[in-house]
Amino acid sequence: MSSEFHRASADVVVVGAGVVGAACAFYAARAGLRVTVVDAGAVAGGTTGAGEGNLLVSDKEPGPELELALRSTALWRELTPELGPDADIEYEPKGGVVVAESPQGYDALLAFAATQRAAGVVAEAVTDKDLASLEPHLAPGLPGGVLYPQDSQVQPMLAAAWLLRAAQRSGATVHPHTRVTGIDRTPDGRVTGVRTSRGTVTAGAVVNAAGTWSAGVAALAGVELPIMPRRGFILVTEPLPVLVRHKVYGAEYVANVASSSADLETSAVVEGTASGTILIGASRERVGFDRTLSLRVLQRLADQAIRLFPVLADVSAIRTYRGFRPYAPDHLPVIGADPRAPGLFHACGHEGAGVGLAPVTGVLTAALLTGTDPGLDLRPFRPDRFESTAVSA
């Protein structure tokens, strides 16, 4: 995917070859810009490669992020044919089912869904009898839930790789295993390119799409961005006949997504994949970049999944993996031009929604790079919205 370079030039350098960076590169190259992508590791080697590939509207309350999600789910439906006749990103519009475990929880879930419907989400109330027809292996006795037909899934690593391949067809160059060591700026602060472990790329714009590591990239340009890692584990079962038809999770998952607690939080999230395995999550905790395997967390995930789907008690888990979500204090991504460093753009801080929000982030970033109207109020996502002080470049 790459070629050696000592000095190169581009219109824009995208730092990060995860799914968000890949989407930014795809839409920017398609808009006619000369794009160079660099990443310290492999394509999709960070948070993207440790995700489930969820494209969700069900877990978002009305507001700026939900508006992004609704736009992005529409873009995902269009993307597969745009990526080429051979592209297979395992896009699956299977829908999501959120279930309540108590009558009080069901009432709260229905009230939440009503607010989402008012914002444009398709959310259908499901009774206890309907649950059994939607998901025959669910635990009996659950009072009901909500069906979200707009929820879907992709294989995130394939999605990132195919987006980058399509970007290359539009002239982009991709350099994995190329660490950014500095961001060059003029005396008045304007960004002019990046220094990397393999050479220098001059460019009028730099897009910071480095996911969990975006704070470090921002610091190279002399600005502070409070993006922190939030660790999560996923259990993977042996391949099975279809036991789980939708993405299914407990209503408490929505509260965990919105929580700012640094402590461990887990909630049952269960879904099948095209290969027949079942993915079981989800956990959240802020422990820095600690990759230590936690049997306590895995046991909690297994117990919660079995409570939701008792049939899983006799199923073997074949592996587990972990990753770090790029967490922002207000749970909103950082998208847009940074006024503190002209020429620097951010596309990061999506936490667990990066795969789902990648296309809309790419479209918005490409619009800003080309000076066209993004068609959306980006003020809620502005990079300088946090109380901060500049750090030295």
Regarding whether 320 and 233 lie in a shared domain, the answer is yes
Task: Tell me which residue range forms the domain holding 124.
Answer: 96-149
- Decide: residue 391, CB within 10 A, 0-12 exposed, 13-18 middle, 19+ buried: middle
Given 129, 149, 169, the domain boundary residue is 149
Q: How far is CA 152 from CA 86, 223, 344, in A?
A: 21, 36, 32
SS3 (DSSP) at 342: coil
The closest of 366, 289, 377 to 326, measured between CA atoms, is 289
pLDDT recorded at residue 388: 47
What pLDDT, on the 0 to 100 scale, is given for residue 393? 34
Residue 145 has pLDDT above 90, yes or no: yes
The pTM (predicted TM-score) of the whole model is: 0.94
Examine residue 80 and state whether it is found in any structural domain, yes or no.
Answer: no
Asked if the structure places residue 371 within a domain, the reply is yes
Domain of residue 183, CATH code: 3.50.50.60
Return d(Cα 227, Cα 218) in angstroms, integer. Answer: 10
**Does one domain contain both 59 and 169?**
yes
Query: What was the pLDDT predicted at 219?
Result: 98
Cα distance between residue 349 and residue 326, in whole Å: 5
* Contact yes or no for 160/174 (Cβ under 8 A): no
Are 232 and 373 part of one and the same domain?
no
Of the residues 149, 167, 186, the one at which a domain ends: 149
CA angle (385, 388, 393) in 5-degree steps? 115
Q: Are residues 48 and 190 in the same domain?
A: yes
Identify whether 61 is part of a domain.
yes
Do 26 and 125 reside in the same domain of the chain?
no
Q: How confident is the model at residue 114 (pLDDT cuts 50, 70, 90)?
A: very high
Residue closest to 146 by CA, chosen among 134, 137, 155 = 134
Per DSSP, what are the bridge partners of residue 269?
249, 281
What are 11's two structure tokens? 């219109």
Q: Averaged over 247-267, what is the pLDDT?
A: 76
Is residue 319 located within the same domain as residue 244? Answer: yes
**Which pLDDT score, from 0 to 100, does residue 274 have?**
85
Answer yes or no: is 113 within a domain.
Answer: yes
Residues 315 and 266 in one domain: yes
Looking at the fold, whether 309 and 359 belong to one and the same domain comes out as no
Query: Where does a domain end: 124, 149, 174?
Result: 149
CATH number at residue 312: 3.30.9.10
Span 11-33, mean pLDDT? Answer: 98
Which pLDDT tens digit goes with each residue over 32-67? 999 999 999 999 999 999 988 999 999 999 999 999
Count: domains in the chain: 3
Average pLDDT over residues 138-156: 96
pLDDT band at 259 (very low <50, low <70, confident <90, very high): low
In a domain, 135, yes or no: yes
Q: Judge if 217 and 299 occupy the same domain.
A: no
Instruction: Give yes or no: residues 254 and 317 share one domain.
Output: yes
Structure tokens at 111: 């009230």
Domain co-membership, 213 together with 143: no
Structural domain contains residue 109: yes
pLDDT bin (cut points 50, 70, 90) of residue 220 is very high
78 occurs within a structural domain: no
The answer as to whether 47 is a domain residue is yes
Is there a single domain that holds both residue 57 and residue 179?
Answer: yes
